[in-house]
Structure 1
Amino acid sequence: MRTCVLSDVGALTLTDQEKPTVGADEALVRVDRVGICGSDIHYYLNGENGGNVVDFPHVLGHEAAGTVVETGEAVTGLAADDRVAIEPGIPCGECSYCRTEGEYHLCKEMEYMSSPPVDGALTEYVAWPADLLYALPDGVSLREGALVEPLSVAMHACERGNVSEGDSVLVTGGGPIGQLVSEVAMWRGAETTILTDVVPEKLELAERRGVDYAVNVESDDPIRVVREEVNPDGVDVVLESSGAETAIRTTTEAVRRGGTVVFVGIPIDASVPTDVNGMIGEEYELKGSFRFSGTYPDAIEGIDAGALNVDDIVSFEYPLSDAQTAFDRAAEPAGVKGVVRVSDDS
């Protein structure tokens, strides 16, 4: 099978690898679409991400969907030709987090697709546990199926922030996660959404997708917009999706007393605002949001119902043979989401 490997920093190479065999509880999936995540870009540009270091060669990509071609002998509920979204994290199933409802994503032994040493999905075939494969309705495309993963990140972040009907929400960062976080916030009933970024194209996309205020922080002050245009007391929820230090510093100033700040963007080198007196006096909550758990069925249902739009965050798509071009474009600031088309017949 054709496989695209990260052979060195900034270098993707097409190779031939042996097709994987299927275990009893696994299915073999012919990969169709793979989204390019920010973590993939970090690995591509730096050879590491968040302390995880690549041992070259390595296969990237964990936002994936495809078609089942074979199932293991113990698999039920899936069959050849089923179109599926792949949940990329394999929890150990034994630890206290795995045994607690809604916490398996915190498993310390999680094997996550494309996170070293686990190879990713930029390859023609993947053998994966069948209980982490979710059938796609006819109305959900395989490209949309690949984007269930970042949508799930956004859904978990909004759940951590308890975004509710009537809330005012500030989303910092207009990349794929920020775009989807604002989408989910509106889906959950947020009355007012503000999205900030420095890239005009991302702000224009956010406006088209329905946010109330798209603020370019290079020319306007987001705190002014919050206090003067939305609520002088601040917003109910801030969802920090950029990982940028300047955005992180604005979060506690933008949130109202008793509100919630959720950090979902991964910073390269930044610290959380820690004004303890402010936290005591204002009683705002600071939370982290890491990956997701149990979100795939709701995400797929939301896409199928037309309530959640993931497809229009895609800026470009390239075939597997041109994955290097796709990654180079994804590393540029103007694009939101790049997708690699793995299967020639799709």
Structure 2
Amino acid sequence: MKALVMRGAGQFGIEEVPMPICGDDEVLVRVKSVAICGSDPVLLAGGSMKDGLPRSLPHIPGHEGAGVIEQIGKNVRGYKVGDAVAVESHLGCGYCENCQAGHYNLCMNFGKVELGHKQYGFTVPGCFAEYCVYRTEVLHKIPDNLTYDHGALTDTVATAFHLIQQAGVKPGGWTTIIGCGPVGMAMLMLCRAMGSKTIVLETGSRLKKAKEFGADYAIDFMDTDALEQVLAVTDHIGADQSFDCAGNRASMNLALHTCRRGGTVGLVAIPAKPEMEIDIKTIVWDEKKLVGSRGNPNCHKQVLEMMSAGYIEAEKMISHHFPLDQFKEALDLFTSRADGVVKVIITI
């Protein structure tokens, strides 16, 4: 089969590789659609090696996928050949304290495949390939009125949804979203669907996209008075919740200071540097809650149902399609942010 194979930092291409073998507790999925995630360029460039990812080389990346089941293991129940499924990347060990509490994205055996943990596309082979094998715990049936592309977008929307689960959204209140890439766009759609008024801070073409996606206010992140503009919109109170979807010092500062007293600051973007200065005094004096969010545990089913019901029009995020053979061109476009790119889908 064809697959994208990473052999080192910045060394990757499409190769012919052996078909994966479906185990007794697994299903074989014929991959149809895979979305490029912001973590994929970092992984392929070798930027995640300091974190032990990928676990070994050569490696097949890809984790925002959807496809159709072509084979099931003898122990599999609840799925059949022909089922259309979306996949999630985190499979916890199932028995550590965090997994048993439902926090399998925080599995205490992360990275230890021999102890049962898998993260598809990172510690085990992913879905930038014609076929991939999965445990059923990470599968979610795609409703009949949705497409494989919807399935591939579920991971992104679910990542935004998990942060909302962590931080909350006040219906009728204000939400500030700093950074309107794919997760920020998903956050915008979700917050609007949940009854919140929205203020997006971005720049360039993505600022225009935020307006198209229905932001109540779209403010240029680069304006020196961006904070004052947000405060003016909210009667100088601030937003009930502010979400940093950019992951840099300036965006973190805006998220913190656009949030009202007693409000919540949600962090979902992974910064390039693990350390940055933060205004602790404001957090303490204004009793602002700072909430981190990783991945999207227990969110895919709800997101698929919201998309199926029409509450979330995730397909609007798709700006480009490429076949697997043109992955390099697709990745270059995605990383350059050219041509109005938001979400790029690889069709296989």
SS in 1 for 2:69: strand
1:280 & 1:163 partners in 2: Cα distance? 21
What pairs up with 1:106-185 in 2 under 5 angstroms? 106-110=106-110, 111-115=118-122, 117-185=123-191
Identify the residue that residue 28 of structure 1 maps to in structure 2.
Answer: 28
Kept in 1, the 8 Å contact 2:6–2:61? The answer is yes
1:232 & 1:120 partners in 2: Cα distance? 47
Letter in 1 for 2:40: D
What pairs up with 1:211-250 in 2 under 5 angstroms? 211-219=215-223, 221-250=225-254
SS in 1 for 2:158: helix
CA distance change for structure 1 residues 7 and 50 in 2, over 3 Å: closer, same or farther? closer
Letter in 2 for 1:80: V
Identify the residue that residue 266 of structure 1 maps to in structure 2.
Answer: 270
2:11 & 2:180 partners in 1: Cα distance? 27
Letter in 2 for 1:99: Q
1:187 & 1:244 partners in 2: Cα distance? 27
Identity within the alignment, %: 29
SS in 2 for 1:128: strand
Identify the residue that residue 197 of structure 1 maps to in structure 2.
Answer: 202
RMSD (Å), alpha carbons: 1.7
Kept in 1, the 8 Å contact 2:59–2:125? The answer is yes
- TM-score norm. by structure 2 comes to 0.92
| 241-250 or 61-70: bigger deviation | 241-250
1:296 & 1:2 partners in 2: Cα distance? 27
Kept in 2, the 8 Å contact 1:12–1:323? The answer is no
- Once the two structures are TM-superposed, the CA of residue 207 in structure 1 deviates from its matched residue by 1.1
SS in 2 for 1:169: strand
Kept in 2, the 8 Å contact 1:39–1:49? The answer is no
- List per-residue Cα deviations over 1:84-121 (Å, max 9, x = no partner): 00122110001000111x42221132421122x32211
- Once the two structures are TM-superposed, the CA of residue 271 in structure 1 deviates from its matched residue by 3.8
Letter in 2 for 1:297: K
- Establish whether residue 321 from structure 1 lines up as the match of residue 322 from structure 2: no
1:135 & 1:107 partners in 2: Cα distance? 24
| 50-59 or 294-303: bigger deviation | 50-59
- TM-score norm. by structure 1 comes to 0.93
Structure 2 unaligned residues grouped into runs of 5+: 111-117
Kept in 1, the 8 Å contact 2:253–2:278? The answer is no
- Establish whether residue 310 from structure 1 lines up as the match of residue 314 from structure 2: yes
What pairs up with 1:59-74 in 2 under 5 angstroms? 59-74=60-75
Kept in 1, the 8 Å contact 2:36–2:64? The answer is yes
Kept in 2, the 8 Å contact 1:8–1:47? The answer is no
Kept in 2, the 8 Å contact 1:31–1:64? The answer is yes
- Once the two structures are TM-superposed, the CA of residue 47 in structure 1 deviates from its matched residue by 4.4
- Establish whether residue 88 from structure 1 lines up as the match of residue 89 from structure 2: yes
1:281 & 1:256 partners in 2: Cα distance? 12
1:258 & 1:328 partners in 2: Cα distance? 42
1:84 & 1:105 partners in 2: Cα distance? 20
| 43-52 or 64-73: bigger deviation | 43-52
Identify the residue that residue 44 of structure 2 maps to in structure 1.
Answer: 44
- Once the two structures are TM-superposed, the CA of residue 273 in structure 1 deviates from its matched residue by 4.9
Kept in 2, the 8 Å contact 1:245–1:269? The answer is no
Structure 1 unaligned residues grouped into runs of 5+: none
